Amino acid sequence: MADIKLIGTDVDGTLTDAGMYYTADGDVMKKFNTHDGMGLKLCQAAGIKTAILTSENTPIVAKRAEKLKIDYLFQGMKSKLEVITNLCNELGITLDNVAYIGDDVNDYEILSAVGLKACPADAMPKIKNIPNIKIMSLKGGEGAVREFIDNYVLVD
């Protein structure tokens, strides 16, 4: 197993159930799973840096990252792989030291490159077919990130 120094996660469909909830006033809401949040905190306690990467750009994600004290939040980027590669260079680690979980085509490039890769049970077929990917039994927003952390990231 790779020596994991950084864990990254997608948001919609991974930390959330991929649902887009709107109020009558047009406000957007997202449902996060508290177990996933605790899993990320456990990673931090173990000395593993945490990162959230999303192509969206929303205050909701910024608030969640702030609450969890996520080390690195990247929103609105085009290439998640480029962002994580730059972060690895900054941290003096390689992509082999990165664990990442994502669910859709915008995660394909990064998932194909990192040392430890996973997806929720309800990820898109293209993602599930990435060689060596760990497919969780739980769906996005239902604790898949925590399942990944408990079963693959924080193991001896």
The CA dihedral of 15, 21, 23, 29, to the nearest 10 degrees, is 10
Average pLDDT over residues 129-145: 98
Evaluated on CA atoms 123, 126, 77, 87, the torsion sign reads positive
Task: Tell me the per-residue pLDDT of 86-136, one tens digit each, with 9 for 90 and over.
Answer: 999 999 999 999 999 999 999 999 999 999 999 999 999 999 999 999 999
- Whether the Cβ atoms of residue 60 and residue 73 lie closer than 8 Å to each other: no
What distance in Å separates the CA atoms of residue 97 and residue 78, rounded to the nearest whole number? 22
Hey, where are the domains in the chain?
A: 6-153
Task: Tell me the per-residue pLDDT of 66-78, one tens digit each, with 9 for 90 and over.
Answer: 999 999 999 999 8
Q: Output the pLDDT for position 1.
A: 47
For domain 6-153, which CATH number applies: 1.10.10.10, 3.40.50.2300, 3.40.50.1000, 3.40.50.150? 3.40.50.1000
Judged against a pLDDT cut of 60, whether residue 47 lies above it is answered with yes
